[in-house]
Structure 1
């Protein structure tokens, strides 16, 4: 009946504080937010955690970053803001699992098409992402950006403009999904290496022009991630 209580990550606590300040009227639409350094000093947390919170709030449309000016509170209806934040705070892991289900529907077929249609330039782009992943592992980096580049390169390899445009539309969401997934998965020893091996197998299948293997390897990769995440939600 009861589930274990899990400690909230630092960036989630920062998001909650910003939400509370907005609800109480201390932060209003159009107000400029403190700099990353100022927030980090004020909250006694790392700048990486502040950056993650700002990234999440930008993604939700609650904050707006302006080049050379800073970060501002967006002009969004308060009720919409509360509902969006409630969804974000309560469904972080669950939403990631649901997005993985959608990705399985879409990217398994994409891997198959990529193996049929990829040209030398496409293969090179995928290999570049693989090389970035190697560096991420060596430097102990979560590597969601490299992961996103890999999957986007596969979408481009299909030569399907609708799929590529759709991947462009949800690119921020995908990066956030991969960040969340990897933050959970990397708590288990050996998962970083497993994820790299899975991506490498997909790449090699596409490079060899083997659609059935590419399809199988992509399914097994996304299925592995989904099952691992479900283990954390129990």
Structure 2
């Protein structure tokens, strides 16, 4: 027989959402349902308050929260709209969290190693001759831009994007994309350090060779080794920055 409830069962307080939190939830639900789409303008603050039957200060607080989340952007001169909902827009709060402690960065790259290895494993099975040709073109661009960190990072993203697509899983592609964006801010300083981009170029060549051979395990090992090298150079520059 189930034991009767005790006083301890009621010790946890009931958490009540503020009106502003309810407004945030309503807007997020509308975005999820496709009622609000990227670029859509939101009604003026006054109209929103009337429509939702809440106070204008509650709407104002909700808009600030949605802006921090990257879901809403404000225009100069007034007005708010739904952002493009890209990883760049939505990952700001996580990026801030990662910047608080190097342990967080280590865990980010631990996840990247797992994800990129599995992506490479799947891509080695599914990749087409056309995609392999595009990867060769991307690698050639990286070779040409090895002295230009910004151009190299763009070519690097394009290279990985081709592999995410070749893996044949839209969710994995989105995750890989998001993790790449999260790591980029910490990667910028490292990419300007002599020898780092050359190492990435060698890593990419090894990964592409494994994909060409359609060898899933070799591709996974190459992707994991690449992420490990990226992490090492990134964390090394982070330590140097703290010492300066």
Which residue of structure 2 lines up, in the alignment, with residue 91 of structure 1? 100
Residues in 1 aligned to 2:156 and 2:101: alpha-carbon distance in whole angstroms: 19
1:124 equivalent to 2:133? Answer yes
For normalisation by structure 2, the TM-score amounts to 0.54
Unaligned runs of 5+ in 1: 1-27, 30-57, 76-82
Query: Which of residues 190, 208, 212 is equivalent to 2:213?
Result: 208
Equivalent in 192, 201, 208 of residue 196 of structure 1: 201
1:135 is matched with which residue? 144
Q: Which residue of 161, 175, 179 corresponds with 1:152?
A: 161
Alpha-carbon displacement from aligned partner over 1:133-166 (angstroms, at most 9, x marks no partner): 223214453632222222221122122x2xx334
- How far 1:172 sits from its partner (Å)? 5.2
2:5 maps to none
Query: C-alpha displacement at 1:196, in angstroms?
Result: 0.8
Q: Does the alignment pair 1:219 with 2:228?
A: no
Contact 1:64 1:71 in 2 (8 A): no
Q: What is the aligned partner in structure 2 of residue 109 from structure 1?
A: 118
Matched residue, 1:178: 184
Pairwise CA RMSD: 3.9
CA distance in 1, matches of 2:77, 2:161: 29
Count matched residues: 169
Shift of 1:229: 2.8
Q: Distance in 2 between matches of 1:70 and 1:177?
A: 33
Q: Distance in 1 between matches of 2:72 and 2:230?
A: 30
Greater mean deviation of Cα atoms: 107-116 or 224-233: 224-233
Q: Work out the CA distance in 2 between the residues paired with 1:127 and 1:70.
A: 47
In structure 1, the partner of 2:109 is 100
- Give the number of the structure whose alpha-carbon radius of gyration is greater: 2
How many Å separate the matches in 2 of 1:96 and 1:175?
13
Partner of 2:73, secondary structure, is strand
CA contact (8 A) 2:120 2:220 kept: yes
Q: Alpha carbons of 1:90 and 1:110: their partners in 2 closer, same or farther (altered >3 Å)? A: closer
Q: Indicate conservation of the 8 Å contact 2:164/2:176, yes or no.
A: no
Shift in CA distance, 226/158, structure 1 to aligned 2, threshold 3 Å: same
> How far 1:203 moved relative to its partner?
0.8
- The one-character-per-residue Cα deviations of 1:26-51 (angstroms, maximum 9, x if unpaired) are xx99xxxxxxxxxxxxxxxxxxxxxx
| Closer/same/farther in 2, CA of residues 85 and 221 from structure 1, 3 Å limit | closer
Q: Which residue of 2 aligns with 1:165?
A: 171
Tell which has more relative contact order, 1 or 2 (C-alpha 8 A, sep 6+): 1
The answer to whether the 8 Å contact 2:116/2:176 transfers is no
| SS of the residue 2:145 aligns to | helix
SS at the partner of 1:114? helix
CA distance in 2, matches of 1:123, 1:131: 12
